[in-house]
């Protein structure tokens, strides 16, 4: 029961800021439950990322007197794990292969584009498996890539102005950076490897999105374009948890200690 209450509390701190901003800036638009589903998926996704990564909150930093150890920070790529060159190649190859596939998808034949898209997803799967088998202790790197693939897909899906590689890369990098820095408050490690892998995952997600557009013949005009920019939504959701989430308060209420 206590775990459930804490989980709901955490979800509310992330979801409420998004919902407030969405309905304030889009109150003059026609709304439907079906049209809001993609945003609901985005909210759940951001919540899960913050939850799985253990993003920090200000109250955790206060309880630790904001003490940060140099051991918590790693700024050297692949220095703290037994990662082989073959594993790294397996993780990076899906990106050039993906752009090569996009180059050949310049056709109106949906069956061809669909086949190429399926082949790419299969090669992506093989690349992750290859990395896990040949990459030493690279499972964390693979998971960090996979975790940010939905981010790279949903961002341009929901906001037309992020429908380019530069925007998705920047958003992926800075969202990951904010999470990594916040982890210093709860005694977790901040690792440049995670930052790189998350960014690569966002790029792969963007590639998959562009393939989706070519398969569905989806134009920019058909894209959802909610106001304001995604930076406001993502920042608000992160700050919601950062400033409002303190699980120790609930434990004190339940157990009186």
Is residue 29 predicted with pLDDT exceeding 80? no
- pLDDT of 133: 75
pLDDT at position 136 over 70: no
DSSP 211-257: HHHHHHT--GGGS---SS-HHHHHHHHHHHHHHH--HHHHHHHHH--
- Band (220; pLDDT cuts 50, 70, 90): low
**What mean pLDDT, rounded, does the chain reach?**
86
- What residue segments make up the domains of the chain, in order of their start? 2-255
Percent of the chain with pLDDT over 90: 47
The predicted structure's pLDDT at residue 218:
67
Cα–Cα distance for residue pair 113/105, rounded to 1 Å = 6
Report pTM.
0.91
Confidence check: pLDDT of 153 > 90: yes
Q: Does residue 166 carry a pLDDT above 90?
A: yes
């Amino acid at each position: 029961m206590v775990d459930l209450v804490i989980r709901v509390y955490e979800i509310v701190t992330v979801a409420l800021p998004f919902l407030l901003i969405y309905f304030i800036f889009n109150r003059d638009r026609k709304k439907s439950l079906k049209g809001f589903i993609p945003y609901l998926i985005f909210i759940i996704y951001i919540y899960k990322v913050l939850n799985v990564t253990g993003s920090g909150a200000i109250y955790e930093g206060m309880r630790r007197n904001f003490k940060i150890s140099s051991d918590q920070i790693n700024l050297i790529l692949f220095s703290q794990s037994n990662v082989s060159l073959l594993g790294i190649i397996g993780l990076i190859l899906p990106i050039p292969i993906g752009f090569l596939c996009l180059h050949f998808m310049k056709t109106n034949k949906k069956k061809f584009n669909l086949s190429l898209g399926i082949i790419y997803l299969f090669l992506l799967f093989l690349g992750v498996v290859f990395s896990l088998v040949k990459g030493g202790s690279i499972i964390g790197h693979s998971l960090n890539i996979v975790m940010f693939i939905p981010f790279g897909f949903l961002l341009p899906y929901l906001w037309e102005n992020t429908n380019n590689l530069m925007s998705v890369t920047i958003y992926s990098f800075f969202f990951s950076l904010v999470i990594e820095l916040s982890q210093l408050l709860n005694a977790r490690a901040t690792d440049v490897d995670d930052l790189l892998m998350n960014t690569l995952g966002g790029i792969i997600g963007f590639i998959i999105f562009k393939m989706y557009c070519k398969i569905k013949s989806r134009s920019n005009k058909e894209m959802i374009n909610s106001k304001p920019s995604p930076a406001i939504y993502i920042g608000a959701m992160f700050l919601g948890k950062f400033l409002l989430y303190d699980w120790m308060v609930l434990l004190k209420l339940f157990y009186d200690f």
